[in-house]
Structure formats: C-alpha cells, structure tokens
Amino acid sequence: MVMVEVPEYEISGKVEISSKETALIIVDMQNDFAHPDGKLFVPSARNIIPKIKELLDRARAAGVKVIYTQDWHMKDDPEFKIWGEHAVANTWGAEIVEELKPLESDILIKKLRYDAFFGTPLDHILRIYGIRNLVITGTVANICVLHTAGSAALLGYKVIVPIDAIAALNDFDYHASLRQISFLYRGILTKVENILFK
C-alpha cells in the first residue's frame, strides 16, 4: 500500500443556478450498483440515496430537467472482461433503484460505456432544451461520474457536483475524483443543501 496526500480542492458555499438552464443528472443509480443484491454493489451508494432524493424533489419542484443515465449492456459486452456481467439490458440490475424511480417526464439515457455523452444523444438533448448547467450526482465517482463530468466540461457546460451525492468504492477514488473535477475540469464542488434553483 502506498499512502498519498490528495491536493486540496475547494468546496463552495451557496451555488445559485437558473432552473430553466439547468439539468440534474443522476448517474447509474441502478440496482446492480446501488442495491445490496446488485452484481457490482457500491455500499456507499446506499448512503447517497436520501441526498439525491432531496435534490431531485427540489429540482422537480423548480422545473429543472431531470436526466437519468443507465449502464445498459448487451449480454456479450466486452466490458464484462473488466467488471464481470452487470447492468444487462432489460434486467432488474439495469433498472433505477426504487427510491429514485424516474417519472414519465424524466429523460433516460442508456449508455454502453462510462461516459454518458459517448455514443448517446445526451449533448443534443441538452442543447434542444437550452441547458447550460449540469448538476451531476450518482455512482461510481471515479468512473461514470468523472467521465461524464469531464465530457460535460469539455463540451462547455458548467459542472456542479454535490460532494454528498456521489459515491465511490473507496476514499481514494472519491477524493481523487473530486480533485480532478475541480482542478482539471473547473467544476464547482458543493453540498446538496447549498444548491439553489432560481
């Protein structure tokens, strides 16, 4: 084991953003990742469900566009060589956890890889609705959350990540992700309670 020190990153206080120009993205809060019976269960993903739900309820009340991403794999997906079989299309494991079930008005993006923009219509959909700000939540912090945040920043979106609404497999991955989002992509790190939709 190697001990490393994570460079500091800033946690912002109050963050006010336009409801009309903002989307809440809930990354991969699926049974296979966020339910104890899931194939790739991330224990800390259970802990963030109440925070995501709190933010989700406020976002919906403010008219913020809500977008869910779903890992969505074919039965012989090459990615299974890395992680094993998970989130197979049209299975229980690929569905969003019951506590955060989407509404009919929400948008679901089914993705084959970590990045929610890669090979999906996400960017096109966001531009149709005039979205400029993305509040990104979910799991796993250093995988699908980080890759989605990175692409969002490179495409010119303002990225806001509530640090109490993302989950990782370990502390190193969690803090390294926050450092990258802040330092490399100039994303805003804050807490759920500090995000204000106006």
Q: Which SS3 state, helix, strand or coil, does residue 108 take?
A: strand
Q: Which residues are catalytic?
A: 28, 111, 144
Measure the CA angle with vertex 85, ends 84 and 91; round to 5°: 160
Q: What is the mean pLDDT of residues 20-31?
A: 98
Give the pLDDT confidence of 133-186 residue by residue, as tens digits.
999 999 999 999 999 999 999 999 999 999 999 999 999 999 999 999 999 999
Pick the CATH number of 15-197 from 3.40.190.290, 3.10.129.10, 3.40.50.850, 3.30.200.20: 3.40.50.850
Name the residue ranges covered by the structural domains of the chain. Answer: 15-197
DSSP annotation of 113: S
Query: Is the CB of residue 2 less than 8 Å from the CB of residue 172?
Result: no
81: Cβ–Cβ under 8 A, 6 or more apart, which residues? none
The pTM of the full predicted model, rounded to 2 decimals, is 0.96
Give the pLDDT confidence of 63-87 residue by residue, as tens digits.
999 999 999 999 999 999 999 999 9
In this prediction, residue 17 has a pLDDT band, given cuts at 50, 70 and 90, of very high
Taking alpha carbons only, the member of 97, 145, 152 closest to residue 122 is 152
Give the pLDDT confidence of 38-65 residue by residue, as tens digits.
999 999 999 999 999 999 999 999 999 9
